A and B are shown apart, each in its own frame.
Chain A
Amino acid sequence: MADAISAPNPSGGFWHRLANPARFQRLSAALMPWLVAATVGLFAAGLYYGLYASPIDYQQKDTVRIMYVHVPAAWLAMASYSTLAIAGFVLLVWRHPLADVAGAAAAPIGAGFTFMALVTGAVWGQPTWGTWWVWDARLTSVLILFFLFLGYIAIRNAFDERERAAKAAAILALVGAVNLPVIKFSVEWWNTLHQPASISRIGAPAIHPDMLRPLLLMAGAYLCLFAVLLLLRMRLELARRSVEALQLARAGAAQP
């Protein structure tokens, strides 16, 4: 199957110039200190407001502070999956060489955020609803998302051929992305069928601005940390591929 674009064109557009790993390394190295600074700053502010300078909830008292680590984790889990889906789309449509690297890098990060959302959700549920796990619509959706991440990681590891693994994972990510809204809708539908009328959802809709501030700060901190981790893991993936290439070259040279 002939493809129109194969080698990165040095005089091509921004994205194609970025495909050169050396250029990517330079750009990510330039961005890194800013991202790290932003991450640290946002965490400091978020934790100060979240743990100290924000009001307690009338009903949930101090446990509402768990919201500041739980809800952003759920948001970042969704953002990570979107990264997988976008990377898959870019790989299949434009065959950008860094797309697969980004997908491989984002998957474990997303799984980590999802896991965090589940555990903090459970910890929040115990004092609020009296039980460690509740089949709340959001928690159930996050649990399913966790399995989608595991499936993505599993299918990457199922093939030795890197290209096949990359494309299979890309298609899976897109299929999952299309299904996610359907799954979320069906889980909410299921929840309303089985829940008695008024169990307040975690993260009630009308949120006081003093609570919104730490929430958004922590969300920003998580997002910057995601960016830092993504760039680091992309570098890791590129380094792994260099090692592989060198090992293959050595093996090839060693043969008589």
Chain B
Amino acid sequence: MPGWIDKQKNILDFTFSSILRRKGKNIALLLVYTLVVFLLASVMFLTYSIKREASTILKDSPDMIVQKISAGRHDPIPLSYLEKVIGIRGISSAKGRLWGYYYDPIIGANYTLMVPDHFSHGPGGIEIGQGVSRVRTTFPGDALDFRTWEGKVMNLEVKRVFSPESELVSSDLVLVSGEDFRALFGGSKDHVTDLVLRVRNPKEIPTIAVKIAELLPDTRIILREEILRTYDAVFSWRGGILILILAGAVLAFIILAWDKASGLSQEERKEIGILKAIGWETSDVLLMKFWEGMAVSLSAFLAGIILAYIHVFFFSSSLFEPVLKGWAVLYPQFRLVPFIDASQVVALFFLTVVPYTVATLIPSWRAATVDPDSVMRA
């Protein structure tokens, strides 16, 4: 065993001397390779942890949301619909939800205003998310002014700011009392934004949804399963810019591997010829080339994965921020929980390290099996 290790170390020493003779080319190769792995792994870590977090958090979202659709658009729903729905067997709770958007012209951001079931602060008080607090530099005790539907200014006092840890669901949230909501947006007291239903037995959800659709044909029913599925499809690899990032990275990698597989430089062929002439076996030459491929690909893979983890989970994917932020004025600053899918890391290893190493071996094997004299003279 020690003999075998010594042999590998000797070949590795020789391999590094050979790599360092073409220092510029190999360093450039290593950097590009690391960048490709870094990009792929960053996208992988970011999308997987968002999906996992969404599926964990949204597990307790309502079983069913009933929206009224009028002329193809979401309309306030009459409370009389609630009375019709509540009689359906299997529904454990049904209530109206009051929520909407408020455009703040001072900073140009949109807030989500919502009325909770039990609001302890009463009229005049609000609870706000960290994002709202940050963009308006407002803290408990301060007042925020809103413009009502009649154009009047309404001052509401901030009673509480949600914790930074909850920013992924509450960053732009403003909780108000029912009275203040109606004063802000007007509208009839007999209408709410939508209906929220909870069902006793989850297996009955599709049957109940069909019953509601028959009973209230001008409504749209959104099931929790669809909510979860939407977030599972968010950042799908097939969607939008992600496929461009992935396609770019994969194409760059194919060019790298292609360059290696398509042949050796004159200098490399001569080197193999000399090694064969001084007594190296074909297997030794292949071992050297294997270590060369491994040295580049394994170093790049490990560095790329580590940098991607640091980028996503320590620096909140700051390189992707301009894309993620878009035109949003109020952008949630959340730190993702590092959910890692080991199978994805293993797949990335087999997609990057193995093909490159194999691509290095094939032309070397071809050169190593030709007569050394002809290789050196070519």
A and B associate in one complex: no
